[in-house]
Amino acid sequence: MLQDSFSIERALHRQGYVAVIGVDEAGRGPLAGPVVAGAVFLPPGADYTPFKDSKKLSHKKRVMLFARIRELQYPYGLGLCSPEEIDDINILQASLLAMRRAVLALNMQADYLLIDGKFTVDMDLPQEPLIKGEDKSSSIAAASIIAKVTRDQLMTDYDREYPLYKFAAHKGYPTKVHKALIAEHGVCPIHRRTFRGVKEFCV
């Protein structure tokens, strides 16, 4: 029997919460680029079934679903933290700050946050962290999709700015190719200088 991935939202709506927002991030693991968060409101009548964990979808499918969110005008917000901020406050705090920024970027007032992971966001709102939340909540899954699509596009844009590192291919993740290119060329301005695999090559 398939899990109902909108049951948590439905239960919260029955309790009187109107704007139940899914929140997730993309890009905690890479050696370069920002961490990007998404916040999404799927209305009660939405077809939530296509929204699944972004890591389980093809790039083409993620792009199509992000386009659907925009086409149907579901409210969403994006937030990011730069590599400099990641180095300054650490990746966990930067991820939570990016999530907060995504919620603040929504063009609606959130009532309740469903957050992927085990930590809450520094906001005066009722919220529930859910481990493996993308599988439990379609709202979180939708947030993971817009975060992933946005971050992938940013890294593709960076590929044109820093072509030596082939960011379009690996999106900044610590692949063998990426690590070899760092060893060959050193670090560039979007590398995370506190991360193992980068800090060894900082002058």
CATH of the domain at 46: 3.30.420.10
In a domain, 26, yes or no: yes
In a domain, 34, yes or no: yes
Of 43-57, 107-121, 127-141, the poorest mean pLDDT is in: 43-57
pLDDT of residue 1: 38
E-strand stretches of the chain: 20-26, 35-41, 76-81, 112-116, 127-130
In a domain, 183, yes or no: no
Give, in degrees to the nearest 5, the angle at Cα 45 between 153 and 135. 55
Residue 203: pLDDT band by 50, 70, 90 thresholds? confident
In a domain, 154, yes or no: yes
In a domain, 182, yes or no: no
pLDDT digits (tens, 9 = 90+) for 4-51: 999 999 999 999 999 999 999 999 999 999 999 999 999 999 999 999
Taking 90 as the threshold, does the pLDDT of residue 90 lie above it?
Answer: yes
User: How many domains are contained in the chain?
Assistant: 1
In a domain, 133, yes or no: yes
Q: Mean per-residue pLDDT for 120-148?
A: 97
Contacts of 32 (CB under 8 A, 6+ apart): 83, 155, 158, 165, 167, 172, 178, 188, 190, 191, 192, 198
Query: Across all residues in the chain, what is the average pLDDT?
Result: 96
Q: What CA–CA distance (Å, rounded) separates 84 from 80?
A: 11
pLDDT digits (tens, 9 = 90+) for 184-200: 999 999 999 999 999 99
In percent, the amount of the chain with pLDDT more than 90 equals 95
Residues of the domain holding 140: 7-160
Q: What CA–CA distance (Å, rounded) separates 88 from 94?
A: 9
In a domain, 170, yes or no: no
Q: Which residue is associated with the tokens 């009722």? A: 126
In a domain, 173, yes or no: no
Taking 90 as the threshold, does the pLDDT of residue 3 lie above it?
Answer: no
